[in-house]
Amino acid sequence: MRSISQEDIRRRVARDNPWWENGAAAIPEAASARRVYFAPFKALALDFGVRRATVMLGPRRVGKTFLIKQMIAEAIAAGHDPRGILYVSIDTPIYSGMALQDFLHLMPPASGSPQIAIFDEIQYLRNWEVHLKDLVDHYPEVKFIATGSAAAALRLKSQESGAGRFSDFMLPPLTFFEFLNFLGEDEELIETTAIDDGGRHIYQVKKLEALNSRFIDYLNFGGYPEAVLNRSIRENPEQFIRNDIIDKVLLKDLPSLYGIQEIQELNKLFSFLAYNAGNEASLENISQESGISKPTIKRYIEYLESAFLIIKLSNIDESAAAMKRERNFKIYLNNPSMRAALFAPVEAGDTERIGHLTECAIFSQWQHSPYFNRLRYARWRNEGEVDIVHLDGPKLLPVWICEIKWSDRIERHQAEVTRSAAAFLRRHRSIRSALFTSRTVTGKLVIEGTACDIWPSALYCYTVGRNVTRRLLGDMAQIGGDIVRVV
């Protein structure tokens, strides 16, 4: 048998880089809408004054390759020689065993502008970080860009081996704000009513029932750009999300990265966690219910976090002190759409399931924020619980709290709904504000001397996502506690 010839490899590379012959016209992605994250990524990736590789990290199918193609189109439109831009998907079987620098020799002659080399799905190259760092050191005339799907694992290697040579860029799932933007319904459903003295935007719902309907769509398929733009994918999210995303991560990415042998055990654990997303858990009760040992569960949870499938939230007690030994925690889905793909899409009447997925969706927005690592939930004896507690300052004191609900019970049963929050507010005078979410109720109240707002959950989810992305674009809008006082 013969080995794959250089000519066959050359032809495949040329096929994957059609702009070498036809320019930006060969890039259909150029005509599609840009994510909010596009502009900052482009600015970082195409900064030729900095001798660093840009490593874009994020879960599968959130638009990394799509964004890369759009960036290539804009670089060409700005005058960059298209023959000086190389794109390679490392998981292509024909490239198995090739060194990164081998691809550089397959580029056609280019004039003028510096070269750009893009390596997609770079995690499939063993010791990729060593190879990429070597290229940055020895090819100063080339701007290197890489993408990868196992975000945390890649980031760890990037930080360990690429110090001073790599710049990481996270691309998370779509925010609810981006989802509405992609559908062209943002301005139809939401309006900015004012900007306060601090430059914070105040948002108001124009059509609440329509917004809630779209929010349920977001819970079912809204985290993935391709699902939003493609009707056939929306009508069959199980095929797209479960088979193309979840199964590839569980059956391919994680086993190859971590040498996992018991793949079905990992799959079983993820299904169990997804079904119980939003509920408090412990290694002990997960082990009892799933039949998997506690050390294995702990290790698998770390792997699932690294692949951006789940979010693990730590707890504090009523005194806002972290547990000396973490026994309990909450697991949220990084993207609520995954639960619908695994089990069944939620419908308007599925109040309990929508409630849990609403928590997932709101934490999914918060993960875009640099303040995410300061969020906890509080739980103590007698069933006291507060869904979100933001800790701040050198002593990590609670400064604002939030209770997430997909119901309007606060309108008629205020004392019961706010009981846990009131107990927490009595104990912590450092808290400046509080928020309670509902399905449709909007209002204000005062509990234990603290000003509190009531917002529809869909509006709050939109506001968190929009303000976090506004900050990414350089806007100085405040987030955190101020977002509760209507940013």
d(CA 85, CA 119): 11
d(CA 375, CA 366): 9
Residue 53 has pLDDT above 90, yes or no: yes
Q: Which residue has the higher pLDDT, 421 or 58?
A: 421
Q: Which residue has the higher pLDDT, 242 or 1?
A: 242
Domain ranges of the chain: 6-170, 176-484
Query: For 384-389, what is the mean pLDDT?
Result: 94
What are 437's strand-pairing partners?
A: 455
- The DSSP bridge pattern shows strands 142-148 and 115-120 to be parallel
CATH of the domain spanning 6-170, picked from 1.10.260.40, 2.40.160.20, 3.40.50.300, 3.40.50.2300: 3.40.50.300
In this prediction, residue 441 has a pLDDT band, given cuts at 50, 70 and 90, of very high
What is residue 323's predicted lDDT score, i.e. its pLDDT? 59
- What would the pLDDT profile of 192-231 be if each residue is shown by its tens digit? 776 665 556 778 999 999 999 999 999 999 988 888 888 8
Q: What percent of the chain has pLDDT over 70?
A: 91
pTM, rounded to two decimals? 0.87
Task: At 60, list the tokens.
Answer: 């599968």
What is residue 129's predicted lDDT score, i.e. its pLDDT? 87
Cα–Cα distances (Å) from 448 to 37, 85, 120, 318, 384, in that order, read 40, 61, 54, 16, 16
- What would the pLDDT profile of 388-430 be if each residue is shown by its tens digit? 999 998 889 999 999 999 999 999 999 999 999 999 999 999 9
Query: For 184-197, what is the mean pLDDT?
Result: 82
- What would the pLDDT profile of 254-271 be if each residue is shown by its tens digit? 887 778 888 889 989 999
Query: For 134-159, what is the mean pLDDT?
Result: 77
What is residue 160's predicted lDDT score, i.e. its pLDDT? 54
- DSSP characters for 101-154? HHHHTTSPP--SSPEEEEEETGGGSTTHHHHHHHHHHH-TTEEEEEEES-HHHH
Closest Cα to residue 177, out of 470, 472, 485, 481? 470
- DSSP characters for 435-481? EEEESS--EEEEETTEEEEEEEHHHHHHHHHHHHHHHHTT-----TH
What is residue 194's predicted lDDT score, i.e. its pLDDT? 67
What is the side-by-side strand order in the sheet with 280-282?
A: 280-282, 328-333, 310-316, 375-380, 384-392, 397-403, 433-438, 450-456, 443-447
List b or e across 398-410, with b for residues whose CB sees 16 or more CB atoms inside 10 angstroms. bbbbbbbbbbeeb
Q: What percent of the chain has pLDDT over 90?
A: 57
Residue 485 has pLDDT above 50, yes or no: no
Task: At 390, list the tokens.
Answer: 């933001």
Chain centroid to Cα 388, Å, comes to 18
d(CA 10, CA 88): 11
